Amino acid sequence: MSDEWTRHHDPHTTTGLRVEETPAPCPRGGRIRPQESAFARVPSGENTVVIIDTDIGGDPDDAIALAVAARCAPALELVTTSDETGPGPRRPGLRARFARILLDRLGRPDVPVAAGAGGETRYVCVEDLVPASAPPQGGDVIAAVRAVAATRPGPIDWVGLGPLTNLALLLAEAPELAPRLRVTQMGGALRYRSPERAEHNFRLDVPAVHAVFAAVADGRLAPPRFVTSEITFVPDTEIGPGHTLHRALSAPAAPAWASLLAAHLDEWFARFFPGTRQHDALALSAALDLPFVAFAPTPLAVDPIGRTTAADGAPAVRVSASAEYGAFMSWLEGVLLPGRSCSAGA
């Protein structure tokens, strides 16, 4: 089975599996509104750089998204981490070291990892999956972004899958790169399930959220696309014990990267929740211009604790309005199951 996995999924093969080369049709049933022309994107091309900013190592949806990007997006040039871990077994940089191991097993040793800012979350479950021999990763996010930005002149697709800490830092310390940034961020909410608090990624670093929205308001940053919690927190994308993907990744003959993902899923199921919903892979699909998430231009205000509401006069961004979950999950399985392809039509 391993050979079959490799043959069908090696991102360096020429089997036409590069999703960023897939045309991005209008979401089924969703017309592009006239006012959306203000948010039109230049299609990704050979000069585009993809950076994934992630709090990988807690909910496995980050690791699943990273595996998808590593296998289907040759333009993936850098992974940065945020909400990094603390002392003891959760020593700083654990998330980055886990990302390094996963990328290596996916055949992407070419993608550097930079460990970002620390955090306080309890959502970490990969301590036993990172051997002591796994080396620490570079800790200078700004230098790492500048290095990859210098390799190509085109847009920088920033795929935010965690707190906005690194993005805010980048806007402050590398303002020359801001005009090239195209941000797709998982986070925020218009109808959060706990209305007394902000969505998780926004809540973890509220000042960073305000810094990003200030950059949008004064024109330094193009309006991001936010894939919001009410669109991602749905049972349609949940992978639990016994799910098709869990079983395939856990198969004895599965390749090493799949076994690592399966072990990560098992740790999460045992220690936190008996399921993982694919917030981050859904956001990644949008960043890759795949057609599963439909967006609507929305003036979005952020309150002092990071909650978001639509409000006239606020900076206009694009907010997820709906998603085609069945098609998305078929695509996800197409990327991660043997014998499938990265095609959006899988």
Q: Is 65 in the site for Ca ion (CB under 5 A)?
A: no
Helix (H) or strand (E) run with residue 292 in it? none
**Minimum CB separation from Ca ion for residue 137, in Å?**
18
**Minimum CB separation from Ca ion for residue 157, in Å?**
17
Q: Determine the size of the site formed for Ca ion (CB under 5 A).
A: 5
Return the number of the residue (161 or 344) whose C-beta is nearest Ca ion: 161
Centre a 10 Å sphere on the Cβ of residue 247 and count the other Cβ atoms it contains.
13
**Minimum CB separation from Ca ion for residue 123, in Å?**
9
Output the CA–CA distances (angstroms, integers) from residue 227 to 1, 60, 76, 240, in the order listed. Answer: 35, 17, 20, 22
Q: Is 161 in the site for Ca ion (CB under 5 A)?
A: yes
Contact code string over 251-280 relative to Ca ion, x by CB under 5 A: -----------------------------x
Output the CA–CA distances (angstroms, integers) from residue 228 to 20, 69, 172, 191, 318, in the order listed. Answer: 22, 20, 25, 9, 10
Q: Is 55 in the site for Ca ion (CB under 5 A)?
A: yes
- Amino acid at the residue 69: A
Closest CA to 187 of 326, 317, 80, 42: 317
Return the number of the residue (54 or 298) whose C-beta is nearest Ca ion: 54
Return the number of the residue (114 or 254) whose C-beta is nearest Ca ion: 114
* Rg from Cα positions in the chain: 19
Contact code string over 280-319 relative to Ca ion, x by CB under 5 A: x---------------------------------------
Return the number of the residue (159 or 161) whose C-beta is nearest Ca ion: 161
Cβ neighbours of residue 184 closer than 8 Å, sequence gap 6 or more: 157, 158, 159, 160, 224, 225, 227, 283, 284, 286, 287
What is d(CA 138, CA 113) in angstroms, rounded to the nearest whole number? 7
Q: Return the residues of window 100-159 that contact Ca ion according to CB under 5 A.
A: none
**Minimum CB separation from Ca ion for residue 233, in Å?**
12
**Minimum CB separation from Ca ion for residue 324, in Å?**
21
Return the number of the residue (77 or 280) whose C-beta is nearest Ca ion: 280
Closest CA to 140 of 110, 170, 184: 170
Q: Which of 38-46, 51-59, 141-149, 218-226 is the region at the interface with Ca ion (rule: CB under 5 A)?
A: 51-59
Asked if 185 and 227 touch (Cβ cutoff 8 Å), the reply is yes
Q: Is 162 in the site for Ca ion (CB under 5 A)?
A: yes
Helix (H) or strand (E) run with residue 115 in it? none
**Minimum CB separation from Ca ion for residue 77, in Å?**
19
**Minimum CB separation from Ca ion for residue 162, in Å?**
5
Sign of the Cα torsion 111, 115, 116, 121 reads positive
Return the number of the residue (55 or 324) whose C-beta is nearest Ca ion: 55
**Minimum CB separation from Ca ion for residue 334, in Å?**
22
**Minimum CB separation from Ca ion for residue 138, in Å?**
21
Return the number of the residue (52 or 149) whose C-beta is nearest Ca ion: 52
What is d(CA 151, CA 32) in angstroms, rounded to the nearest whole number? 33
Cβ-count burial of 147 within 10 angstroms (0-12 exposed, 13-18 middle, 19+ buried)? middle
Return the number of the residue (97 or 340) whose C-beta is nearest Ca ion: 97
- Helices (runs of H) and strands (runs of E) counted in the chain: 12, 11
Contacting residue, 50, 51, 52, 62, with Ca ion by CB under 5 A: 62
Residues at the contact surface with Ca ion, assessed by CB under 5 A: 55, 62, 161-162, 280
